[in-house]
Amino acid sequence: KNHNRNSRGALIVLEGLDRSGKTSQSSKLLSYLEGQGYSVESWRFPDRNTGVGQMISSYLANKSQLDDHAIHLLFSANRWEKRSLMETKLRSGTTLIVDRYSYSGVAFSSAKGLNIEWCKAPEMGLLAPDLVLYLDIPPEKAAERGGYGGERYEQLEFQKKVAQSYQLLHDASWKIIDACLPIEDVEMQLRETVLDCVMTCQEGKSLSLLWS
Ligand code: Z5A
């Protein structure tokens, strides 16, 4: 589809509170881009399939206890263990739609009271997303969607703090989407932005690193 030798796939991240609709929208975007003829995969963090991911999963299910700093570093390690595959995929032309990334890492840990700069440090050098789609929803509305399971963090008071932490992380790659709209309307808003981003990367936009 493109002759530029720096052509690559786009790194697109979905962020937002629990229940904001990230999982629903990432599968919709996946089928949309596939339908447009693009090579695309959907990823998520934490990736619970690795050894580190299993430790994270057991922590989230309250089956193990860990110091706040230690779990923060595990979430980060879980991204580092996927970094080289991520770069290979992008350079080979595959677009990645990623459900949660470093912003979740920083937002959740700093909501617990950890220093934000300390939280960002282990993320430095990971690939920077070309686009961050922030699915914006008031914590109360997200809680009404139901399905809050028994996992750690799935509590209204904590989600309010996470929403505040996210506010500190916006940069030029962010696009804020009203996630209270019906699913189809959210999807329509995402499609246009995502397609723009995919085309820019196809034209050879260079990859950059967090945090810049
Ligand atoms: N965490 C961390 O601390 N540090 C890190 O570095 C990372 C993560 C990466 C596990 O994440 C926890 O790990 C998470 C952050 C922390 N804790 N919390 N909270 P996870 O990815 O495994 O789980 P999650 O992202 O929090 O939850 P989720 O279930 O994946 O939610 P979602 O993907 O945003 O929502 P959804 O499943 O698409 O939709 C939720 C429901 O709402 C569902 O019934 C939908 O049909 C409905 N829905 C969706 N969109 C709409 C609209 N537009 N209108 C009405 N209803 C809708």
pLDDT number for residue 151: 87
CATH classification of 11-202, choosing from 3.40.50.2020, 3.30.750.24, 3.40.50.300, 3.30.70.20?
3.40.50.300
List, for residues 146-181, the tens digit of each pLDDT value: 777 778 999 999 999 999 999 999 999 999 999 999
Which residue of 52, 145, 165 sits with most ligand 1 atoms within 8 Å of its CB, as the best mutation to test the pocket? 145
Tell me how far the alpha carbon of residue 62 lies from the centroid of ligand 1, in angstroms. Answer: 18
Residue 208 C-beta-side C-alpha neighbours within 13 Å: 8
CA separation, residue 44 to residues 79, 88, 117 (Å) = 10, 17, 24
pLDDT digits (tens, 9 = 90+) for 6-48: 899 999 999 999 999 999 999 999 999 999 999 999 999 999 9
For residue 135, how many other CB atoms are within 10 A of its CB?
22
**Which residue ranges make up each domain of the chain?**
11-202
Answer whether 20 contacts ligand 1 (Cβ < 6 A): yes
Q: What is the pLDDT of residues 44-91, one digit of tens each?
A: 999 999 999 999 999 999 999 999 999 999 999 999 999 999 999 999
The pLDDT of residue 1 is above 60: no
pLDDT at residue 93 is higher than 70: yes
The DSSP annotation for 143-192 comes to: HHT----S-TT-SHHHHHHHHHHHHTT--TTEEEEETTS-HHHHHHHHHH
How far is the centre of ligand 1, averaged over its atoms, from the C-alpha of 24 (Å)? Answer: 9
The ligand 1 atom nearest the CA atom of 44: 21
pTM for this one?
0.96
